Structure 1
């Protein structure tokens, strides 16, 4: 293993380079309006951009905020600042109010604008779509038109649809727009949503006889986008060992241990705080309160790496004005590094170690899945060890023996012993 020195780094530069969805803990009710504005530009806006919205213009809906874990901002605005989310995003942050009567498509071709508005009115009135859905369609169609214009120098989308001999060239133009989305958008789900909205509009104008064909009718066959992202694969013990062998600082060591040795999410690693660490000699663990984990409050047992986190706390305690986070950042309003920083640092270690999974550099989620795979194997091995007992007792299965003949403490110790052995193999 390389020699380890405490790495303080240039957090400001790292934070500026962050990419990926940020999943953080926020003390919404304790934030000032200025701090909430910082959260928008530092965290929410990049997520909006990756999801295909114009982060300088498009006002997030409550449904979108909830889906991406930012719903707490609505409560804080209402209870502590007497503002609705829309008022905050428009009047305080300075976004344009996309649902107002003054909405402008910024499209010079009048017939195209009319066709867009007629379509939105149709799905609102005849289709019975919720207003938030209508505005989502509006936003995505606006991005479609803007991207088309940037690529092809015109926003007259209806003109080439009036002649069938234009169909081959127009299909290529539309596929070029999708190529941009394929590059810019982060998930297949987002890419498919844009394709579905644009294809629905082209189908509408064809039904209304504004067009003779739909250039996107078979566009889905061109791309390998899937509606649901496959689960990331797990790292093997040998791959974890190779990555761990490349750590060059206590901070990097803690990062790998927290992901693959404790099974934490990247967001939980980024926001780890000393108050969560309980270094009890009999039962060292991390505590998570309500709202801090997707699966609710609870504890994470530290079967491995107790010395790593203890050393990290000792080192940070010597710093002046330490805020308690195990991955602190002076440039972030939250006080700790972002999820994207955790992802990037892990991938850099994996790159250095030469670890590749299916041709790509592994992600932190693969470290987390290693923990779960190892845990499942440990449980299975405990059950296998009871097969002789089950046979002697005439029990129908090892699960019956586990449930009826071992105390919870005995089961817990057996499971932890097996899991420790697997972690020890991976990290040593």
Structure 2
């Protein structure tokens, strides 16, 4: 989350001392950063005020009273969204009265192609609902900006004839020129380009278009997405957070994030059917394609006793639905991702753990796992340097492939990783 010392919005004042001490540069934040502001700063205040922060959409008056009126300006001017659309469609809060999305586009074929693309990335691409909604809002801004510049929202029509390609490329570059002027960061500009280019590629694959006018558009601009390295908790910080657990549920939450490397959404929806407590190879099992960027099985090197005890305790409940973090009030039967975030942050607050001036998020626990795993692999390779020298090889990777069997390599890697986890979790 990006925070600045001064705010660009003159009306962003509050009688709340905590909010008054923070100033947000709303106009420089992309949608992901605005979502972080909600879960890290706004949601806890909503909870303290008696609202359900997973469901209740903040009103403009509430946002203004608590010093967040600047978010409405940023959403309107930079993301073409109302606060309600943002909280419902992007953050994922529930609103029974919310209307169905309207593209406000007159060209029916273009609307159908936009809807078909979103359906495809959700059903075939396995994208999360929040990701689909982000694509939807960026495509809507693309279409409306195109219409304002060129007087039409029939985006498919010029794509049917190759002789129109040079002119259409220029029209699309003109849209990007507008984004270059109104969006504050290169990363935001590249995100809009990526989504629009992906849609054009989709309609070309589906034979609604003969070319993609944005296929080489990235070469026209000097946009760079220089991102800081993702922050990870250290072993000592994990240990301090773990020392604050006050229930079996809290203990399992920290173990699942930092010792198994699960995503917050995977922790929230963890089910007993996924847990395989085989003595030789305890692991979690995920359905094919369920994890976009991870294996279908997650080895449980640490915390087997924690999850086993949790299952035993829940099994005694007559109405248990099988989720390891069950919820009676949720329609899904398990706690929400925001509940995982809130509980982890509460533990981190009690442990007085701070990363870059902020309370760490659950993702930082997952990043600890990745950081520890990379270190473990590196240490295994370092241990083979002597063998490589004796073999006359300049590469420990070659020795790893030729000197150790796959099973020996696996045992060595797991042994090192267990030592890393033991360092973090042993009190």
How far apart in 1 are the matches of 2:154 and 2:116?
18
Residue 48 of structure 1 corresponds to 89
CA distance in 1, matches of 2:375, 2:348: 24
Q: How many residues align?
A: 280
What's 2:339 paired with?
Answer: 341
Alignment counterpart, residue 151 of structure 2, candidates 104, 118, 121: 121
- The Cα shift of 1:50 comes to 4.1
Match of 2:151, SS state, is helix
Distance of 1:121 and 1:387 partners within structure 2? 66
SS of the residue corresponding to residue 281 of structure 1 reads: coil
Say if 1:263 and 1:372, in contact at 8 Å, map to a contact too. Answer: yes
SS in 1 for 2:292: coil
Cα distance change, pair 73–257 in 1 and its aligned pair in 2 (3 A): closer
Aligned-residue CA RMSD (Å): 4.5
Match of 2:117 among 48, 51, 63: 63
Q: In the TM superposition, what are the counterparts of 1:185-264 in structure 2 within 5 Å?
A: 189=188, 230=228, 232-264=230-262
* Structure 2 Cα separation of the partners of residues 227 and 129 of structure 1: 29
* Residues 252-301 of structure 1: per-residue CA shift (max 9 Å, x gap): 11111101000111111111110110111111101111132113662110
Report the Cα distance in structure 1 between the residues aligned to 2:155 and 2:53, rounded to whole angstroms: 48
- Residues 1:319 and 1:226: Cα distance change in structure 2 (over 3 Å): farther
The equivalent residue for 2:47 is none
Higher relative contact order (CA 8 A, sep 6+): 1
Q: Cα distance, 1:18 vs. partner?
A: 9.9
Shift of 1:226: 8.6
Tell me which residue corresponds to 1:328. 326
SS in 2 for 1:286: strand
What is the alpha-carbon distance in structure 2 between the residues aligned to residue 343 and residue 191 of structure 1?
Answer: 28
Offset at residue 56 of structure 1 (A): 3.0
Match of 2:396 in 1: 398
The 2-side partners of 1:304 and 1:226 are apart by 40
- 1:372 is aligned to 370
- The structure-2 alpha-carbon separation of the partners of 1:62 and 1:120, relative to structure 1 and needing over 3 Å to count, comes to farther
The answer on whether the counterparts of 1:291 and 1:297 sit within 8 Å (CA) in structure 2 is no
**Counterparts in 2 of 1:246 and 1:129: CA distance versus 1, 3 Å:** farther
3-state DSSP of counterpart to 2:256: helix
Rounded to whole Å, the distance in 1 between the matches of 2:189 and 2:339 is: 23
Alignment CA distance shift 1:245-1:70 (3 Å): farther
By how many angstroms is 1:62 displaced?
4.3
Judge which range, 383-392 or 366-375, deviates more: 383-392
Which stretches of structure 1, 4 residues or more, deviate above 2 A after TM superposition?
A: 12-19, 44-47, 54-67, 69-74, 115-130, 188-194, 225-232
> How has the CA–CA distance of structure 1 residues 410 and 15 changed in structure 2, closer, same or farther, with 3 Å as cutoff?
same
1:289 aligns with 2:287: yes
Q: Distance in 1 between matches of 2:333 and 2:125?
A: 19
Match of 1:419 among 414, 417, 420: 417
Q: TM-score, normalised by structure 2?
A: 0.55
Instruction: Report what 1:80 is aligned to.
Output: none
Q: CA deviation at 1:390?
A: 1.4
Quote the offset at 1:365 in angstroms. Answer: 1.1
Give 2:408's aligned residue. Answer: 410
Kindly state the Cα deviation for residue 73 of structure 1 after the two structures are TM-superposed: 11
SS state of the match for residue 285, structure 2? strand
Is 1:361–2:359 an aligned residue pair?
yes
Listed as ranges, the gaps of 5+ residues in structure 2 are 1-50, 59-84, 104-114, 128-139, 161-181, 197-222
Separation (CA, whole Å) in 2 of partners of 1:125 and 1:409: 55
Question: 8 Å contact 1:123–1:129 — kept in the other structure?
Answer: no
